[in-house]
Amino acid sequence: MRILSVWLSLLAAVVVQAQPTFPYNGILPKDVTSVAFTHATLYMDYQTRLEDATLVIEKGKIVAAGKTVSIPANAVVIDCKGKYIYPSFIDLHSDYGLGDAAPAKGNEGGPRMRGGSGNESPKGAFGWNDAINADYNAALNFTCKEEAAKELRGIGFGAVLTHKMDGIVRGSGALVTLGSQPNQSLLNPMASGHYSFNKGTSTTSYPSSLMGSIALLRQSYYDAQWYSRGGSSEERNLSLDAMNTLALRPSFFDAGDKWNVFRADKVGDEFGIQYIIKTNGTEYQRLNDIAATKASLIVPLTFPDAYDVSDPYVSRLVSLDEMKHWEMAPSNCAMLSAQKISFAITSHGLSERAQFWKNLRKSVKRGLSESDALKALTYTPAFWIGANNELGSLKAGAWANFFIASDNIFNESAILHENWVQGEQFVIDAAKTIDLVGNYELKLPKHTYELKVKEVEGKTKASIQHVKPGKNDDGTAKMDTLNYTVSITSVNELLTISFDASDEFYAGMLRLAGDISSDRASWSGRGQDAAGKWLEWSAAMKGKNETEAKKENGEKRKENETAEVIGDVIYPFTAYGSKERPKAETVLIKNATLWTCEADGKIENGQLLIHQGKIVAVGKTVDASKYPGARIIDAQGRHVTPGIIDEHSHIALASVNEGEQACSAEVEEARVVWPEDIDIYRQLSGGVTCAQLLHGSANPIGGQSALVKMHWGGNADDMVVDNAPGFIKFALGENVKQSNWYNDGTRFPQTRMGVEQLYYDHFIRAREYGIANVLALEEAGLKGVTRQNSSLAIVNSPRVDLEMKTLWEILQKQRFVTCHSYVQSEINMLMHVADSMNFTLNTFTHILEGYKVADKMKAHGAGASSFSDWWAYKYEVKDAIPHNGALLHEQGITVAFNSDDAEMARRLNQEAAKAVKYGGVKEEDALKFVTLNPAKLLRIDKRTGSLAAGKDADVVIWTDHPLSIYAKAEKTFVDGICYFDSERDAALRTDINNERARIIQKMLNAKGAGEPVRTPGFKDKKHFHCDTLDQTSQGISFK
Amino acid sequence: MRTILFIISLAIGAVLTAQQNPTVAPAQTRSILIMNATAHIGDGSVIENAAIGFRNGKLDLVADARTIRLAPNAYDETIDASGKHVYPGFIATNSTLGLHELDAIRPANDVAETGSYKPGIRSAIAYNTDSEIIPTIRMNGVLMGQITPRGGVISGTSSVMQFDAWNWEDALIKADDGVHLNWPGVFHKHYDKGKVSVEKVKTYDQQLREIHTFFNEARAYCSVKEPGVRELRFEGLRGVFEGSQKLYVHADDAKSIQESLNFKASQNIQHMVIVGGYDAHLVADQLVANKVPVLLRRLHELPMYAEDDIDLPFKLPGMLYKAGVLFALQNEGDMERMGARNLPFYAGTAAAYGLPYEEAVRSLTQSPAKILGIDDQCGTLEAGKDATLFISNGDALDMRTNAVTHAFIQGRSIVLRSKQTELYEKYKQKYDGKK
């Protein structure tokens, strides 16, 4: 049986299924045969493998598959002895067939200019924001793209879920095969809904930050709810219509970074949606947290190249996490699988498709089972998209989507020969069906050579070794071993061989042509020698030894891989992370000078007991008899203070300013806390235990703050303080007026006068919103209205408006304001606004002219969180003085000193000392500026801020007087957990060095082995200040 | 007594002309003796119970009070400084004080001239003695500064000024002490979407060639004593070639510093100083061998790399000291002018992280004086040198104890007031009046 010729003829035999409704020009071809693939190893599904089995397909579908399948009479039979047949793969993350460029806004699907925050009027009955493309329909834009399809088929894919990767709501996705006929390929035109946090090409200025994207997506869901409850009678909005249609389909979220997985999942939870989340391959870095989301993941196989670390100075640009990720990325799938996290694999993001198999096989070497790998490419994606009867297996009735391989596809040498899509044959690598590998006797007229043909990484390599007798200089006989590299190519069954001989029989290039015998055991033909003389040649196979050797090599390589040492995941996944996070301890601190920040004042030679995250007792002596296991710390000569609290910080955030609109009350910093910021650890080293992470000052009404404790190594939820009162950032002055922008601004307000009006407008609207809400609820309650029995109240109830809701919370005294402010006029103004709207401004932050209106602030009841000695960085701080804190303090105002600066935050104790220096505040009171007072301003003084029994064990042990420049934090406890310890810090430094050294050696080896390497360059985050703009570099570095 | 009266009248005057800088102190006419203070000499030594005398602007006595005898009328005035500390006036190197007033206000900015190669740009003539920031700096003990232009490849020529003068001419301690060359970065930072990426500068080699070309041409030009056609750009490097001016090379990473040292050799530069020097500790041996000192970048900053020791910037002075590198502290960076009053605390941090205390004092006194080439005149408490010094109630390197009660510049008793103290007193009166 000559397999090859049958396969070739089949190409003509298979009739591409025609569209019945289409007219046909010519004699109509009909699909009247079936195809039987016999003697194959069949993967019925990811876990069922049948040897010597038969697969029968007809009219694009699988008719039967199994060991006892009878072959229909009309079948074309293909002998697949030795071949492997797998259901072809499904990629759920694709934009196949939708055009190369993102569709231009304003043209696609009718007029789409929908206005922004400017003055453009909306065109078309769509929503206001271009990033919400709910109405985009992938199916309407789909067509078969042969180039792209060919690439995907070439690595085993047969179907993809395609969607437009642009915008926050990306519209519907279509399930399509990789066949050649759109009408056949489109399996499900409305298969899915797609979402992301990336606004993409949207020209609407809002959102400009991650937290803005989150808020916009949430608001869109709420708007859609309102719309379906009856909002459509007020406004026809095709975007919201489409949002509701999408919500009925499986929802796919393109999240990327692991932290975005949690952010997306949280949005999903709010609306009862479990997203299927596309990741970026870093999930192994937080496996337990990922598992806890219960989200299903779509995982890429993008593994980074090694860095060229041959220069010791330049290699410093490669961060530890980049090094570790290089090493660990290939283990991601194996680790997800071991954690029983449900995932599918996508080929998306690979710079070249050839990496797919390399990386998938690498994943398998790292411990992903072959069946789990297959599952993630067949069963799982098919199941999620509701197509498991059609795709992902070889069961009868499914689409004839499968590929044929030369071997178990996880073997390095396996070759993908053909990929069949809906019964349509696509040849990938047919030439490889002729196996030339072996040892041959190559017989030429003058001599018979030993020819060895091997296969190395899919390429045929041939060589001849010839021993030539010769003479040494002294005349004795010797043997010279000559190695000829032989070029050998085969096209179908025709061979071309050439090599450059230089021995006693032939000299110069020999060129041979011939063909392969039907049993493939021998070759024969004619050729020419170097002189152009024709000759006859033949070759006979002596054995297949090289194939064995090849396999041995493969196995040896496999052993090497298993022996590979892989580092540990550290928490957080950056420098100064550790394998095990420290735990809460029972600790008795003795012989310390305790600065209680309470009525007790300073206790010399005091004791402090910590248990289960709380301070149990503080005093001259404490009863620790109940805690015999307590770790005793002798703090002789040491000072102990409450943890430093930074009222104004921008560390540990993925975004700071949603600066496009004058009011962005809807955005929340808590949703973008970034727990891997090295500054968390650095601040622990300066005794900081707690910080308010504030929105920036680009707008009069900024976003909601996150109150965090420095749980280094935890996730965002670990850091965000539970049940803490909500805060929001306001801002006044030059930043909100955009005074120091390079160009003149156009956004309202541009003067302090406009700022006042903006506040009134928003608070009055918020009051109306709140009252309407309350009325609607009361009405619904009074009349016993429920969703079921009357739609009236629900129709009339206002939509959830996240912006207004937040402002209403302020009016209800459920949320508190920290206001960025400098000059006395505006401070006074805002207090008038608050007084007239019947709420109190909790804190003025910066407040550098607070000393001018301290009496008024006292009367209003506002606190102050200031800088110790900053001034002269812009016009509005020309009158700032370092005595500000002291003057405010003397007027009875609760005063804090804050950082607004990632560096200074770790020296806040020194900043407090400046209140003593400038203005003569008592030392114990000055320390309160960075402990108890910020706790009061943040309304968490009942639980932290001082050393008192029952409070959180946020405690610092200092080597010296805490207000002195010579004081260093020796230990910093957060909720009783010692996150910073100077001794442990020294050990971590060694760990970092050792781990880097180990991986650098490995990278150098990789480079030596010829793997591609990247030039080092490092990426880290920008240190945020108040007016750092998130997605532009226009931020000016003034405070 | 007369002095006291004078100060009081000055204070009143200052209040009347609210928010004006205090009057410049007149030349020293009466000799002054400071007794019993702990004197930090600036050269690494300390004298407990010191006797420090100065007249006509110059120190004429620095001794252990227990070892000397003075005639009762040897000095016109005696200040009892028992329990207090005396330091030589601190020197702010690589400073832009007087070149800018309010960061965001463009008209106030004279820090960086446009253009790339401009050694002829001279900071001295733009130095604003009436800057309202300068009096606030003096109050913490910083009494002199090297005023330095910024920007471009060669940013210009710095001058050393003292901080109590009617005009820039009077303020000069040393005019045109050196030319500042910003070494092209091997890597440059690129900001995008909150991420900072550092990439290799593609034009680095090109920039380097340009610098070499400029210096080669300038040297050729300067080797002609009186050129017929004058080229001002090249003229500005004459002092550097002749050795009368220093070449300050602003460079931080190890490779740039090494290349700078090679540049020194190939261009035969006599006096080179590295400004910045984050990686100086990695190439300390070469710096010592080439006798190149360092004006070390600001201490109160975060490490450049997440992997660095979290206290690396704090430790750098101690490390350089141990390696034998001559260095001084400076604070170039965000809010550097108003922040210059915190320079003493940089030295305090250095002392907390491995630098011996008197060496920390030295890093703001004798070391910068040596590096700037003014050590024959100031930088230490030694007879014959300028009486530029201050008295602090406590350790001046610790903000907890820094409390400057007297400061003298060239013997002149300067007024320790500022716009900020005026405002403080004005509003204190507002609230005190209410009580």
**In this predicted structure, what is the pLDDT of residue A967?**
98
**Pairing between β-strand A34-45 and β-strand A48-58 as defined by DSSP bridges:** antiparallel
Looking at residues A238-264, what average pLDDT do you find?
A: 95
Say yes or no: A446 contacts chain B, CB-CB below 8 A.
Answer: no
Among A666, A642, A651, residue whose Cα is nearest residue A589 = A642
Q: Which two tokens stand for residue B256?
A: 């740039």
Q: Which of residues 54-83 of B touch A (CB under 8 A)?
A: none
Q: B310-320: per-residue pLDDT in tens?
A: 999 999 999 99
Is residue B423 assigned to a domain? no
pLDDT at A335 over 80: yes
Q: With contacts defined as CB-CB under 8 Å, which chain B residues touch A916?
A: 400
Candidate from B196, B307, B349 with C-beta closest to A965 = B349
Taking the CA of residue B159 and the nearest CA in chain A, the distance in Å comes to 23
Taking the CA of residue B420 and the nearest CA in chain A, the distance in Å comes to 5
Say yes or no: B188 contacts chain A, CB-CB below 8 A.
Answer: no
Q: A143-153: per-residue pLDDT in tens?
A: 999 999 999 99
Q: How many CB atoms lie within 10 A of CB A993?
A: 12
Q: Which two tokens stand for residue A302?
A: 């993008």
Taking the CA of residue A868 and the nearest CA in chain B, the distance in Å comes to 11
Contact A131, A207 (CB under 8 A): yes
CB pair distance less than 8 Å for B420 and A882: yes
Say yes or no: B405 contacts chain A, CB-CB below 8 A.
Answer: no
**Average pLDDT in chain A:** 89
Best residue in A965, A972, A1025, A1030 for a mutation probing chain B (most B CBs within 10 Å): A965
**In this predicted structure, what is the pLDDT of residue A741?**
75
Range name among A55-69, A87-101, A555-569, B40-54 with the lowest pLDDT average: A555-569
Q: Residue A72 carries which side chain, given as an amino acid letter?
A: P
Range name among A111-125, A515-529, B214-228 with the lowest pLDDT average: A111-125
**In this predicted structure, what is the pLDDT of residue B196?**
57
Candidate from A655, A902, A965 with C-beta closest to B345 = A965
pLDDT at A1035 over 50: no
The strands making up A706-709's β-sheet, listed across from edge to edge, are A644-649, A688-693, A706-709
> What CATH code is assigned to A89-111+124-391?
3.20.20.140
User: Which residue is it, tokens 């009408």?
Assistant: A183
CB pair distance less than 8 Å for B101 and A871: no
**In this predicted structure, what is the pLDDT of residue A77?**
95
Interface ipTM above 0.90: yes
Range name among A408-422, A766-780, A926-940 with the lowest pLDDT average: A766-780
Say yes or no: A891 contacts chain B, CB-CB below 8 A.
Answer: yes
Q: A254-263: per-residue pLDDT in tens?
A: 998 999 999 9
Candidate from A903, A917, A1030 with C-beta closest to B403 = A917
Measure the CA–CA gap between A429 and A987, rounded to whole angstroms.
55
Helix, strand, coil percentages for chain A (3-state, nearest 5): 30, 30, 40
Looking at residues A316-332, what average pLDDT do you find?
A: 95
In angstroms, the Cα distances linking A430 to A85, A87, A427, A494 are: 15, 19, 6, 14
Say yes or no: B254 contacts chain A, CB-CB below 8 A.
Answer: yes
User: Which residue is it, tokens 């390079």?
Assistant: A742
Question: Which DSSP letter does residue A523 get?
Answer: E
Angle of CA points A245, A251, A253, to nearest 5°: 130
CB pair distance less than 8 Å for A874 and B102: yes
**Pairing between β-strand A614-619 and β-strand A477-491 as defined by DSSP bridges:** unpaired
Q: With contacts defined as CB-CB under 8 Å, which chain B residues touch A1036?
A: 104
Q: With contacts defined as CB-CB under 8 Å, which chain A residues touch B401?
A: 964
Candidate from B282, B302, B421 with C-beta closest to A902 = B302
**In this predicted structure, what is the pLDDT of residue B197?**
61
Domains held by chain B: number: 1
CB pair distance less than 8 Å for B302 and A679: yes
Say yes or no: B432 contacts chain A, CB-CB below 8 A.
Answer: no
CB pair distance less than 8 Å for A881 and B348: no
Q: Which of residues 168-187 of B touch A (CB under 8 A)?
A: 187
Is residue B3 assigned to a domain? no
SS (H, E, C) chain B: CHHHHHHHHHHHHHHHCCCCCCCCCCCCCCCEEEEEEEEECCCCCEEEEEEEEEECCEEEEEEEHHHCCCCCCCCCEEEECCCCEEEECEEEEEECCCCCCCCCCHHHCCCECCCCECCCCECHHHCCCCCCCHHHHHCCCEEEEEECCECCCEEEEEEEEECCCCCHHHHEEEEEEEEEEECCCCEEEEEECCEEEEEECCCHHHHHHHHHHHHHHHHHHHCCCCCCCCCHHHHCCHHHHHCCCEEEEEECCHHHHHHHHHHHHHHCCCCEEEEECCCHHHHHHHHHHCCCCEEECCCCCCCCCCCCCCCHHHHHHHHHHHHCCCEEEECCCCCHHHHHHHHHHHHHHHHHCCCCHHHHHHCCCHHHHHHHCCCCCCCCCCCCCECCEEEECCCCCCCCCCCEEEEEECCEECCCCCHHHHHHHHHHHHHHHHC
Measure the CA–CA gap between A301 and A346, rounded to whole angstroms.
7
Q: Which two tokens stand for residue B137?
A: 């700096």
Looking at residues A595-610, what average pLDDT do you find?
A: 97
**In this predicted structure, what is the pLDDT of residue A705?**
97
**In this predicted structure, what is the pLDDT of residue A351?**
86
What radius of gyration do chain B's Cα atoms show?
Answer: 23
**In this predicted structure, what is the pLDDT of residue A121?**
46
Measure the CA–CA gap between A914 and B348, rounded to whole angstroms.
14
Q: Which two tokens stand for residue A601?
A: 């004042």
Give the pLDDT band of residue A718 (cuts 50, 70, 90).
very high
Is residue B24 assigned to a domain? no
Measure the CA–CA gap between A773 and A779, rounded to whole angstroms.
10
Candidate from A916, A1015, A1021 with C-beta closest to B194 = A1021
Q: Which two tokens stand for residue B370?
A: 């040596």
Q: A478-509: per-residue pLDDT in tens?
A: 888 889 999 988 877 788 999 999 888 998 99
Quote the domain boundaries for residue B278.
Answer: 101-120+151-156+176-378
Q: With contacts defined as CB-CB under 8 Å, which chain A residues touch B434?
A: 855
Contact B53, B75 (CB under 8 A): yes
Looking at residues A83-108, what average pLDDT do you find?
A: 77
B192, closest residue in chain A (CA to CA): A1033
Taking the CA of residue A266 and the nearest CA in chain B, the distance in Å comes to 23
Burial bucket for residue A150 (CB in 10 Å: 0-12, 13-18, 19+): middle
B133, closest residue in chain A (CA to CA): A872
Give the pLDDT band of residue A230 (cuts 50, 70, 90).
confident
A209, closest residue in chain B (CA to CA): B193
Measure the CA–CA gap between B286 and A769, rounded to whole angstroms.
70
Q: With contacts defined as CB-CB under 8 Å, which chain B residues touch A1028?
A: 194
Match domain A434-559 to its CATH number in 2.40.10.10, 1.10.1040.10, 3.40.50.300, 2.40.128.120: 2.40.128.120
pLDDT at A555 over 90: no
B140, closest residue in chain A (CA to CA): A917
B426, closest residue in chain A (CA to CA): A852
Q: With contacts defined as CB-CB under 8 Å, which chain B residues touch A854?
A: 427, 431
Name A525's Cβ contacts closer than 8 Å, sequence gap at least 6: A495, A512, A513, A514, A515, A536, A537, A538
Measure the CA–CA gap between A915 and B350, rounded to whole angstroms.
22
Looking at residues B380-400, what average pLDDT do you find?
A: 98
CA A219, chain centre distance (Å): 23
Measure the CA–CA gap between A420 and B232, rounded to whole angstroms.
77
Give the pLDDT band of residue A388 (cuts 50, 70, 90).
very high
Q: Which two tokens stand for residue A337?
A: 């699988």
**Pairing between β-strand A1013-1014 and β-strand A306-307 as defined by DSSP bridges:** parallel
Say yes or no: A879 contacts chain B, CB-CB below 8 A.
Answer: yes
pLDDT at A14 over 70: no
Is residue B368 assigned to a domain? yes
Say yes or no: A383 contacts chain B, CB-CB below 8 A.
Answer: no
Measure the CA–CA gap between A545 and B188, rounded to whole angstroms.
56
Looking at residues A834-861, what average pLDDT do you find?
A: 97
Give the pLDDT band of residue A110 (cuts 50, 70, 90).
very low
Query: In what helix (H) or strand (E) does residue A554 lie, and over which residues does it extend?
Result: helix A545-563
Between chain A and chain B, the number of residue pairs with CB atoms below 8 A apart is 169
Measure the CA–CA gap between A256 and A267, rounded to whole angstroms.
15
Looking at residues B20-33, what average pLDDT do you find?
A: 95
CB pair distance less than 8 Å for B197 and A1018: yes
Q: A293-314: per-residue pLDDT in tens?
A: 999 999 999 999 999 999 999 8
Helices A802-811 + A752-782 axis angle, to 10: 90
Q: With contacts defined as CB-CB under 8 Å, which chain B residues touch A1015?
A: 200
Q: With contacts defined as CB-CB under 8 Å, which chain A residues touch B254?
A: 313
Name B401's Cβ contacts closer than 8 Å, sequence gap at least 6: A964, B392, B393, B394, B395
Domain ranges of chain A: 1-88+392-428, 89-111+124-391, 434-559
Q: Which of residues 114-153 of B touch A (CB under 8 A)?
A: 132-133
Q: A922-947: per-residue pLDDT in tens?
A: 999 999 999 999 999 999 999 999 99
**In this predicted structure, what is the pLDDT of residue B282?**
97
Best residue in A658, A879, A966, A990 for a mutation probing chain B (most B CBs within 10 Å): A966
CATH code of B214's domain: 3.20.20.140
B186, closest residue in chain A (CA to CA): A314
Name B12's Cβ contacts closer than 8 Å, sequence gap at least 6: none
Give the pLDDT band of residue A561 (cuts 50, 70, 90).
low
pLDDT at B225 over 90: no
Among A838, A842, A840, A858, residue whose Cα is nearest residue A850 = A858
pLDDT at A1036 over 50: no
Which of the two residues, A882 and A772, has the higher pLDDT score? A882
Query: In what helix (H) or strand (E) does residue A110 lie, and over which residues does it extend?
Result: none
pLDDT at B9 over 50: no
Give the pLDDT band of residue A796 (cuts 50, 70, 90).
low
Which 3 state secondary structure label does DSSP give A713?
A: coil
CB pair distance less than 8 Å for B307 and A878: no
Looking at residues B327-342, what average pLDDT do you find?
A: 97
**In this predicted structure, what is the pLDDT of residue A12?**
40
Is residue B49 assigned to a domain? no
**In this predicted structure, what is the pLDDT of residue B10?**
46
- List residues bridging with A62 in a β-sheet: A57
CB pair distance less than 8 Å for B307 and A996: yes
Is residue B64 assigned to a domain? no
Among A228, A216, A255, A254, residue whose Cα is nearest residue A131 = A216
pLDDT at A139 over 60: yes
Taking the CA of residue B278 and the nearest CA in chain A, the distance in Å comes to 12
Measure the CA–CA gap between B251 and B257, rounded to whole angstroms.
6
Give the pLDDT band of residue A999 (cuts 50, 70, 90).
very high
Among B168, B164, B166, residue whose Cα is nearest residue B410 = B164
Fold classification of A1-88+392-428 (topology level): Urease, subunit C; domain 1 (2.30.40)
Measure the CA–CA gap between B372 and B367, rounded to whole angstroms.
9
Say yes or no: B256 contacts chain A, CB-CB below 8 A.
Answer: no
| Neighbour-count burial for B331-358, b at 16+ CB within 10 Å, e otherwise | bbebbbbbbbbbbbbbbbbbbbbbbebb
CB pair distance less than 8 Å for B104 and A320: no
Name B203's Cβ contacts closer than 8 Å, sequence gap at least 6: B184
Q: With contacts defined as CB-CB under 8 Å, which chain B residues touch A914?
A: 399
**In this predicted structure, what is the pLDDT of residue B17?**
46
Taking the CA of residue B101 and the nearest CA in chain A, the distance in Å comes to 7
Is residue B25 assigned to a domain? no
The residue length of chain B stands at 435
Q: Residue A598 carries which side chain, given as an amino acid letter?
A: E
CB pair distance less than 8 Å for A874 and B200: no
**In this predicted structure, what is the pLDDT of residue A232?**
87
Cis peptide before B26 (omega within 30 of 0): no
CB pair distance less than 8 Å for B104 and A1018: no
Looking at residues A179-189, what average pLDDT do you find?
A: 95
**In this predicted structure, what is the pLDDT of residue B20?**
78
**In this predicted structure, what is the pLDDT of residue A564?**
83
Say yes or no: B306 contacts chain A, CB-CB below 8 A.
Answer: yes
The residue length of chain A stands at 1039
**Average pLDDT in chain B:** 93
pLDDT at A552 over 80: no
Is residue B54 assigned to a domain? no
Contact A952, A622 (CB under 8 A): no
